[in-house]
A and B are shown apart, each in its own frame.
Chain A
Amino acid sequence: MAFRNYILVCGGTACESSKAGAIYDALVAECRAQGVSQDVQVVKTGCFGFCEQGPIVKVLPEDSFYVQVKPEDAKEIVSEHIVKGREVRRLLYDKDSSKKHAKVEDIKFYQKQFRIVLRNCGFIDPENIDEYIAREGYVALEKTLFDMTPDDVINELKIAGLRGRGGAGFPTWMKWNFTKQVEADEKYIVCNADEGDPGAYMDRSTLEGDPHSVLEAMTIAGHTVGARQGFIYIRAEYPLAIHRLEVAMKQSREYGLLGKNILGSGFDFDIEIRLGAGAFVCGEETALLASIEGRRGMPVPRPPFPAVRGLWGKPTVINNVETWANIPVIILKGGPWFERIGTPDSHGTKVFALTGKIRNSGLVEVPMGTTLREIIYDVGGGIAHDKEFKAVQTGGPSGGVITKDYLDTPIDFGSLTKLGSMMGSGGMIVMDEDDCIVDVAKFYLNFTVDESCGKCAPCRIGGRSLANILDKITKGNGTLEDLDKMEEIGGAMKKASLCALGQTAPNPILSTVYYFKDEYLAHIVEKRCPAGKCKSLITYSINTEKCIGCTACARKCPVQAITGERRAPHTIDPALCIKCGICLETCKFGAVEVR
């Protein structure tokens, strides 16, 4: 027999420390005492996120969500909820607490996530078109083919206020409208699935989990602007996404949802996949189009914009995967529905790939206007290993850092730009006290320097000079003039580079210098790396009072830099030490120190 109720007790590491174990025991005991052990199972679960409100107890099937539960509450939960079937109101999460931005009533009150783009990811079998169809798949296409005019579609997108999710946030309806209005014998639809930011995998997951949402959206665009051919430009490093797209396209063709005379409407549309070789710059739209045409992927100056003169000189709508995935839902539920979600500046949701020093890393989709604090602490469960939050990088190599002081900023396109970062495609890398901010800036800059196509001088030469200066600083050879010089070079790159790669490359430096000047000064003036990351600036030593002479580190040291008698304090020879940090990891007595 199945149980009538299930009581889920959050047993994540954060809650474990705050008495989840005791609550579990109390609930089990109460169920027994009140004679309902047969009707209910008490289950320990993983972290629900939302740890600030923990420990959390959830009762199924009612889905009651109790927060800050104490072992003493077990009795009432069992006697009221389980026995009498009444929720314990005082423990429910207060649904009205300052929900300024989340204007959509049906966001479940504790769940910060709201999935439009990822609506089917994790629900359907992506290789079975029937499951997509069963979840309202291709209803939007039906509507646009038979019930709406192209202008209706564009108007719906305009009301929705959808802005491109590939980085720049350009209003999608305007792009479509440009292309629609141009007279041309051919027009094209392109999906940008090049996704090259370090730490980003939103688009890959969307294509792997729900390929039909993109195919349906591209077909809708084709019908709206008058194009018959679409291309998906995807990096060859995404074999599973490519496979799922191929399967999806084959099934769509068999069903007559792609190809000639779609659903008997007389409209023809088909899609081809084009593989990219993984150059970051090929994600830039003009470089991408050049690459599809078989030319070398280098940006060209805009205007003319692709919407007017794109692929083979023809008007071309190019949108990002996530932008595409929003479209069927907007058509399905209507522009006003979408417009209500988010902030006045940015509507709808944004998918982030939450990585770095975060407890619950993963893909998250939240309404625009959610704060960084909610994303990091409520959804992400906070910083791993209870370390101190230092900063979060948004916008990948084009973005910047956001510090503790700005955790409560509601995020949208505008607010992130104001903070000196940007939305970018949605990578979100969390840093803790152990991360060196200069090292982080160096990592991103080296990425853009490697990926620069070299076509224009500000990016090619400026990027290299910035990298050299950062390298100097992390080696302890920086000077105060270097800070000014970096700002000067960065400013020139922003103004004079041809494409956004070069224009935004200095952002990680400029923003870290702005928010963490002290840390730069420590490297430059004191020749010290506060986080203990920059190898040239740190020394390893052994605290003779703590060392018990177990010899463990000496045996592990790859260059035999550690010597000492058994049971006597050991020492590290700084001349031999290569600063690999193995001794630090090895010592169980905290005797190895970094300075």
Chain B
Amino acid sequence: MAKMTLEELRKLRDTKKNEIKKRDLSGRDTQIVIGMGTCGIAAGGKIVLDAFLSELELRKIDNVIVTQTGCMGLCYVEPTVEVIAPDMPPVIYGKVDASVVKRIIDEHVVGKQMVSDHVFDRPSADIIKDGGKR
């Protein structure tokens, strides 16, 4: 992308907002977000990321996109993973390891059920969601 003008930036923002709203990320409807701050990585975030990628490939599941984010604030249960699947509320899982990765794919992504014992609450409401006052 070349340098933008004000108009182009605003257009880009609107497009990206819509994409996020529709959760239509390059044609895939399910998003798995892995907490990859220093805390998450120290607790095994990279291993979890690899486990998701290889498990999804192994099972030829292609409607899932795996991305990373910073610290969700739940350092005591790292590694943490958020799963955003169609028709389900977004869920944060904590204390995720390779076996939990398998359960998340089996139960949540495929079976549309939450994985008991690993669900944690997002620590706060989202102040940006409703947009800024312009």
Binding site for B on A (CB under 8 A): 1-3, 6, 8, 11, 41, 43-49, 58, 60-61, 106-108, 111, 113-116, 118-128, 130-131, 133-140, 142-143, 146, 201, 204-205, 208-210, 238, 240-241, 254-257, 259, 261, 263-265, 329, 332-334, 337, 359-365, 379
Contact = CB atoms under 8 A, between A and B. Distances in A.
A136 B117 contact: no
A589 to B, nearest CB: 31
Given A106-B127, A204-B37, 12 more contacts: A6-B89, A45-B118, A48-B120, A111-B123, A115-B127, A135-B128, A205-B71, A208-B38, A263-B9, A264-B6, A329-B127, A362-B123
Given A113-B123, A119-B127, A255 B74 contact: no
Contact of B94 (A46, A111, A134): A46
Nearest to A114: B124
Given A113-B123, A133-B9, A205 B70 contact: yes
Given A123-B69, A125-B67, A201-B38, A359 B124 contact: no
Contacts of A1: 112
B17 interface: yes
Contacts of A115: 123-127
A361 B75 contact: yes
B69 A256 contact: no
B96 to A, nearest CB: 11
Interface string B1-13: 1111110011011
Interface string B101-134: 0000000000011111111111111111001111
Interface string B40-55: 0100000000000000
The 5 closest A-B pairs by CB, nearest first: A209-B70, A256-B3, A122-B72, A113-B124, A134-B16
A128 B68 CA distance: 10
Contacts of A11: 117
Contacts of A257: 4, 9
Interface of B: 1-6, 9-10, 12-13, 16-17, 19-20, 33, 35, 37-39, 41, 67-77, 80, 82, 85-89, 94-95, 112-128, 131-134
Interface centre among B69, B88, B115 (most CB of A within 10 A): B69
A6 B12 CA distance: 36
A210 B37 CA distance: 10
Contacts of B118: 45-46
B119 A8 contact: yes
Contacts of B71: 118, 121-122, 205, 208-209, 363
20 contacts: A3-B88, A6-B114, A45-B117, A115-B124, A123-B69, A128-B67, A133-B9, A136-B13, A139-B13, A204-B38, A240-B41, A241-B38, A254-B3, A255-B3, A257-B4, A261-B3, A263-B5, A337-B133, A362-B74, A379-B123
Contacts of A210: 70
Contact of B1 (A131, A254, A264): A254
Nearest to A1: B112
Interface centre among B3, B37, B113, B118 (most CB of A within 10 A): B37
B9 A138 contact: yes
A133 B16 contact: yes
Contacts of A254: 1-3
A46 B133 contact: no
Contact of B72 (A107, A121, A240, A337): A121
A122 B69 contact: yes
B124 A60 contact: no
A60 B122 CA distance: 13
Interface centre among B1, B3, B95 (most CB of A within 10 A): B3
A332 B132 contact: yes
A255 B38 contact: no
Nearest to A61: B89
B89 to A, nearest CB: 4
Contacts of B120: 45-48
B37 A209 contact: yes
B132 A106 contact: no
Contacts of A126: 68-70
A201 B1 CA distance: 34
A255 B125 contact: no
Contact of A121 (B10, B69, B77): B69
